[in-house]
A and B are shown apart, each in its own frame.
Chain A
Amino acid sequence: MSDEAVNGGGVGRAGDAYLAQMRTKRRMNFIILVVFLALLVSGFYVADSRNAGGFWDGLGNIFDFPAAMFSEAIERAPLMPGYLVKYFPSLIETINIAAASTLIGALLGLVMSLLVTRGFAPVPWLVTPLRRLLDILRAVPEIVIALVLIFTLGGGPVPAMIAIALHSVGALGKLFSEVNENASLKPVEGLASVGATWSQRMWLGVIPQVAPNYLSYALLRFEINIRASAILGFVGAGGIGYDLRNTMSWGVGKYDEAAAIFILLFLTIVVVDQLSSLLRNRLTHGAANTQVTL
């Protein structure tokens, strides 16, 4: 095509060819879009037919429950501060589950990431099996591990912490190893030339380079883990999710307490999200600055 265009006389034909190409491409995209929408619509109908209550019936009732809850909450507004105080310890437990699992996940993820990054890995043949292990850790939903652990360890925060930490190892290990791949090898080589051991090379040569990015990913993980730890509480692993399930299942008369928990959870998630995005912004900009000054 470009030959014709250069050799003159072909501009018109090249234009036609281009337009024809565009047309087929657009047609293909259009077909893909139609197929996709058809899938979406039929999927909706399948989901609707397999649901206990239909979509159109339920749509009218969607505000019934929030309305009932909030009217009850407003009715007993004077009790609200008491509820907020009552459930605050559970909230702390939920946050602690998230923080501890993020911390453990990040520490183990750090070690794993160094073991699976080519160039840093002390045992090269372990790279592939460990990567598969990380894939599996990432693929297992937290609830699977949590439910199995609740069966063996009993309820409480520890099963949730282990479950979320294992998932975090998988997720952070992969992200960290991607960061490692962009780290400069020069400090590592320099340290190797003065006879540093593997752990010294990693601790002094790699970690200072990658720490800001690591921290930023870990903070993002913390946001995700707060939600996860609230959800796991709902299936029996302690924290505020567990209280929420109890207030919900005791039925009428407890909705005001459920409302208090909703408020606590909502505020926590919003505050953590905002704080973490603020910190992450500072971290990435700070990292950019240090790079410039160096």
Chain B
Amino acid sequence: MTTATLQAATLAQFSRKKRITIAVPLVVLAYLAYIFVSFDVAGLSERINLNNARTLVSDSYSYKTHVTQNNRDGTIAVSVEGERKGEYPDGSAPDWVSLGDTTIVDLGDGHVITLGDEVSYNIPGYGVVTARPDGTGVNAVLPAGDLPDYINASKNRVTIVTDAGRFTITRARAEVFKYSYGWELFFFTLDSPYYGMGPAQLVSRAFSGEAGAILHDFWTNKMWRHGDVLWALFETLLMAFLGTFGAAIVALPLAFLAARNFTPLGAFRFAARRVFDFLRGVDGLIWTIVLSRAFGPGPLTGALAILLTDTGSFGKMFSEALENVDEKQIEGITSTGAKPMQRYRFGVIPQVMPVLLSQVLYYFESNTRSATIIGAITGGGIGLLLTQAIATQKDWEEVTYYIVLIILLVMAMDTLSGWARRKLIKGDEGGH
């Protein structure tokens, strides 16, 4: 090769590379532009629901306490998030509410609401709003002047939203919402004797023989349902465990059938490979749907769906690993007069085991995630709880709780499987 031809070749290569460097970003941009139009990303600003986003975010780190007066009989109910299971027992209330003939709700920073026959809200820097609800309307009396935009008043309804809270009065009832940070009642609900105790007090109670009762109250917390949630988390893990390892056990013998060096007969090989392709191609979604028709919702359906899909994936990977085994070890075993089963057990399995196990462990971690999704479709495990909590569109603190648990579970599985894989590859030179 002369210098001239080499130079020409190099220049041609360079100009080709230049063209590619320009063309690739252009193609990518063009495709993204097409997606922008076809997914109507521009119209997103109209579809986006900022209110939803705001409740979602604020709900995930705060909660509200409802103080509700029934205007017909004057009874007062105090509850967390307005739910029955978060209700304060009769005659008790948080310290910012003083119950009596006229109940006084102190929202802080001078915002004081008085409930009774006449309801009043003292708004600092504005004045006092009073209302006397009866059959004709709420009869609100507002300070003179223009209404500020945080007050919405009509004949039958007044709503005041300030930084301190939210106040609504209608003919039927007067309602105050006070927002506070945190996840209220996370450990114990109000009907538990341990509600409001500090950690030190709890520990001392636990040592004086109440550990079981404390745990029981936590486990059966009606608001957060820790027991159910942990069971659901366990179900998800169980789906991944049964599905992954069940698939590995089913796929191993089939992989021998699909490996060229173990199955000389092409027809078997072809059949086994097509079975793997089919199992993989049908995909977890379709398997989940088909299986949930036969087995109903639950963890078993999810486990079987993972098992079927991964049998295909494992079969393919295992047979590839088997085709790469070193024949010498098998010959060595054969030379001692070993029968076929013994040849497989001592000549093949030790060679491939670390590789196969590390692949299986990798899938175990990723299947923990898949099990969440499958649970959401078929109805089992934490996926189901998550979709239910999202469907109510108000339990965002629970959604956050589940998401945190899911992330922790997946990360724990990731760490565990990474640790086991490193140990397998390092510690198992002999492979027995």
Residues of the B chain whose Cβ atoms lie less than 8 Å from the Cβ of A44: 242, 300, 303
CB of B109 within 8 Å of the partner chain: no
Nearest neighbor of B291 in chain A, beta-carbon distance: A62
Q: Scoring A residues 15 to 30 as 1 if CB is less than 8 Å from chain B, else 0, what string do you get?
A: 0000000100110010
Residues of the B chain whose Cβ atoms lie less than 8 Å from the Cβ of A26: 432
Count A-B pairs with CB separation below 8 Å.
183
Q: Bin chain B's interface residue count.
A: 35 or more
CB of A156 within 8 Å of the partner chain: yes
Report how far A265 CA is from B376 CA in the complex, Å. 20
Residue from the set A104, A143, A158, A270 with the largest chain B CB neighbour count within 10 Å: A143
Q: Scoring A residues 235 to 276 as 1 if CB is less than 8 Å from chain B, else 0, what string do you get?
A: 100000100100010000000000000100110011001000
Q: Which of A29, A161, A231 contacts B432 (CB 8 A)?
A: A29
A43-B238 contact given A26-B432, A139-B410, A152-B49, CB 8 Å threshold: yes
B281 touches A47 (CB 8 A): no
Pairs A-B, 8 closest by C-beta atoms: A51-B298, A52-B296, A53-B296, A58-B295, A51-B300, A65-B293, A139-B410, A154-B47
A265 touches B283 (CB 8 A): yes
Residues of the B chain whose Cβ atoms lie less than 8 Å from the Cβ of A99: 31
Report how far A270 CA is from B277 CA in the complex, Å. 7
Smallest distance from the beta carbon of B136 to chain A beta carbons, Å?
Answer: 40
CB of B411 within 8 Å of the partner chain: yes
B52 touches A152 (CB 8 A): yes
CB of A153 within 8 Å of the partner chain: yes
Residues of the A chain whose Cβ atoms lie less than 8 Å from the Cβ of B386: 143-144, 147
A270-B281 contact given A100-B31, A140-B407, CB 8 Å threshold: yes
Smallest distance from the beta carbon of A133 to chain B beta carbons, Å?
Answer: 12
Report how far A48 CA is from B239 CA in the complex, Å. 11
CB of A118 within 8 Å of the partner chain: no
A148 touches B39 (CB 8 A): no
Q: How many residues of chain A are within 8 Å of chain B by beta carbon?
A: 65
| Interface majority SS (helix, strand, loop, mixed), chain A | helix
Q: Scoring B residues 202 to 236 as 1 if CB is less than 8 Å from chain A, else 0, what string do you get?
A: 00000000000000000000000000000000010
Give 8 A-B contacts (CB < 8 Å), ordered by A residue.
A40-B246, A47-B298, A50-B380, A136-B411, A139-B414, A154-B49, A248-B289, A270-B281
A154-B48 contact given A43-B242, A147-B386, CB 8 Å threshold: yes
Report how far A231 CA is from B31 CA in the complex, Å. 23
A47-B238 contact given A141-B369, A273-B280, CB 8 Å threshold: yes
Report how far A273 CA is from B290 CA in the complex, Å. 22
Q: Which of B52, B249, B294, B399 contacts A62 (CB 8 A)?
A: B294
